[in-house]
Structure 1
Amino acid sequence: MNLLGQAVNHKIFGKGIITDHCDNKITVHFEKNKKIFLFPDAVPRYLTLKNTAIQKKIEKINKAWEQKINEKRRKAAEENQYRSLLYTMKIPPKSQMAYNLSEEALDGLKYVDTGCFLSGLNKGKPRIPANIQPNSAIVLTDCTPGNEDERKIIGVSMVDEHFWGDTCTDGRVKLHETYQLILPHEHRISFWKYFKKNVIQNPWGSVPFKYVQNQVMEKILFDICQRTAETVKAAEAMGIYRYFCRINRIPEKLTIHKEIEKSNVL
């Protein structure tokens, strides 16, 4: 838009001519002096162009820009409100998940599927993970067929911060894009170290997931941090643990920080 030479009017300085336009600034020469204005903000707030067609174009630009700014502010306000919700939400004591899958399924994993009911009124419908919400972590486990005693924790992921299980209708639990970790083989942990088999009856069967106590999950994540403290996975493990503790309102164990500080990796 060529504004050079356009006639304008200012309520105080009177009539003037635009003599320079550089980025978001315009220079206007009035009868007694020259002034610099922000563009397009100054039109029509301070300046009115004699050319009504250009005036309308600038007003249209201003309106679109204002709408864009308002939309950003609205989204920021909604995000702040949602963040407040995350850190004040009610946390069920058993809102974590242990999930059974094969190691081959880890590649590009973005969701875990809760499976479907095999009988009853809900036969064929997805299982609703009602207790799973943004504070939930999922330990990913695997074992070879017939070797349940050797089940290992092969990875962990937080749930996506916008996922709420009680509103889930397709049985797909979305994983967090940032807080995910696949454990190297040498740092994988025995799953049954944290559970008694008589507590989890029929360990998996047709249901690929089990609910886990929050305090048990904290212990698992703490141990993962310790096992990976001097590896390239240390920062990822620590990030997940700190996020988990913060969103679940569980105090962090300070000994982890000391172990990480000793590591040459960070």
Structure 2
Amino acid sequence: MNLINEEITHKVFGEGNIVDQDGSIITVDFNEDIKKFVYPDVFAEFITLNDRDTAKALEKVIAKRELKEEALERKREEEKERLELERQRRELLKNHRIHESSQIVFWLDEEEQQYVFTDWQVSTGVVQSGKNKGQPNRAARLRPNSAGLLTIRELDQPETERQIIGLYMVDETFSGSLSEDGLVPSHEEFRIQLTDQEAEKMLFWNYYINSNYPHRTTWNSGKFRYFDNIWTAQILKDIIALKTDEEEIQKIEKFLEYFCQVNALDMDNIPEANGALKQ
């Protein structure tokens, strides 16, 4: 905003005239006493424009600038928080070698299916026997590099029909060995829910394989089991191929990129799935 030749009043120096304006500096002539001030900061407290219309116009300029500065400050704070979370994540992982099977697969019961995509956390259940019977199960392998795979199977269905209905990264500060309530919370950003039609195409046993019994498709018992890191990457890659909405695809690609980063996987060299159903 051009303020040259505008008459002003300064709280200390009195009446003056703006004779020059260069970026963030204005020059004011107070009866041949020349002084320079920071623009527009000086108008917040020390200087007022004598012309009301110009003063109102300047107020709008200042308000717009303040909004922009507030937005930049928010971005700086968000980046600061992101870097702090990244520091915490690295601190958690620093003393723990990444396990090749540090992902978790849940078998969701009917009740859990009703709220899992609202609460975005799943219980590991309780210990069934021994001195810790009744206490929450601690999934000790889980770290910020872990994902929670959500699967379902009706009791009257064969195990080969087990479907993947969604998955999420665990919260970036979570450590399974330190969990006291048995709940595995999710990362706020990396969450995926599949439609019924999509889930029908994402069969769990296309990915999971028992190396000793490659054709076996049995879950036996238990609320969860551990899952190989590379298998989770394969699932994310296949979900990307399954999706048609560009926004969803970009979101899952970001998920895959993050997952590969924290699990030290080469995103460009993920092998094709080779689970029990593919043998």
Q: Quick check: TM above 0.5?
A: yes
Q: Any residues of structure 2 matched to 1:13-162 within 5 Å, and which?
A: 16=13, 32-37=33-38, 38=41, 78-79=84-85, 81-82=87-88, 84-85=90-91, 90-101=97-108, 102=110, 103-147=113-157, 148-162=159-173
Contact 1:100/1:204 (8 A) holds in 2: no
Contact 2:145/2:262 (8 A) holds in 1: yes
Contact 1:133/1:163 (8 A) holds in 2: yes
Cα offset for 1:248? 1.1
| Residue 193 (structure 1) aligns with | 206
- In structure 2, relative to structure 1, the CA distance for the partners of 1:252 and 1:208 (3 Å cut) is same
Partners in 1 of 2:256 and 2:198 — Cα distance? 16
Instruction: Tell me the number of residue pairs that the alignment of Structure 1 and Structure 2 aligns.
Output: 215
Q: Secondary structure at the match of 1:158?
A: strand
- In structure 2, relative to structure 1, the CA distance for the partners of 1:182 and 1:26 (3 Å cut) is same
Q: Secondary structure at the match of 1:104?
A: helix
Q: Secondary structure at the match of 2:231?
A: helix
| Deviations, residues 3-60 of structure 1 (Å, cap 9, x unaligned) | x8755xxxxxxxx56989xxx99999699333324569x9xxxxxxxxxxxxxxxxxx
Identity %, equivalent residues: 29
Q: Secondary structure at the match of 1:107?
A: helix
- In structure 2, relative to structure 1, the CA distance for the partners of 1:79 and 1:27 (3 Å cut) is farther
Q: In the alignment, residue 128 of structure 2 is paired with which amino acid?
A: L
TM-score, normalising length from structure 2? 0.61
State the Cα RMSD in Å. 4.1
Of 153, 165, 174, which residue of structure 2 is paired with 1:163? 174
Q: In the alignment, residue 34 of structure 2 is paired with which amino acid?
A: N
| Residue 248 (structure 1) aligns with | 263
Question: Quick check: 96-105 or 152-161, which moved more?
Answer: 96-105
Cα offset for 1:77? 6.3
Partners in 2 of 1:128 and 1:30 — Cα distance? 79
TM-score, normalising length from structure 1? 0.64
Partners in 2 of 1:252 and 1:159 — Cα distance? 19
Structure 2 gaps, min length 5: 1-8, 18-23, 46-72, 272-279
2:233 paired with 1:218: yes
Cα offset for 1:255? 9.3
Q: In the alignment, residue 164 of structure 1 is paired with which amino acid?
A: S
- In structure 2, relative to structure 1, the CA distance for the partners of 1:220 and 1:124 (3 Å cut) is same
| Residue 62 (structure 1) aligns with | none
| Deviations, residues 207-266 of structure 1 (Å, cap 9, x unaligned) | 3211111122222222222222x345423332222221122121113799xxxxxxxxxx
| Residue 66 (structure 2) aligns with | none
| Residue 184 (structure 1) aligns with | 195
Structure 1 gaps, min length 5: 8-15, 43-67, 257-266
- In structure 2, relative to structure 1, the CA distance for the partners of 1:84 and 1:222 (3 Å cut) is same
- In structure 2, relative to structure 1, the CA distance for the partners of 1:210 and 1:86 (3 Å cut) is same
| Residue 20 (structure 2) aligns with | none
Partners in 1 of 2:261 and 2:233 — Cα distance? 11
Cα offset for 1:117? 0.9
Q: Secondary structure at the match of 2:267?
A: coil
Contact 1:25/1:36 (8 A) holds in 2: yes
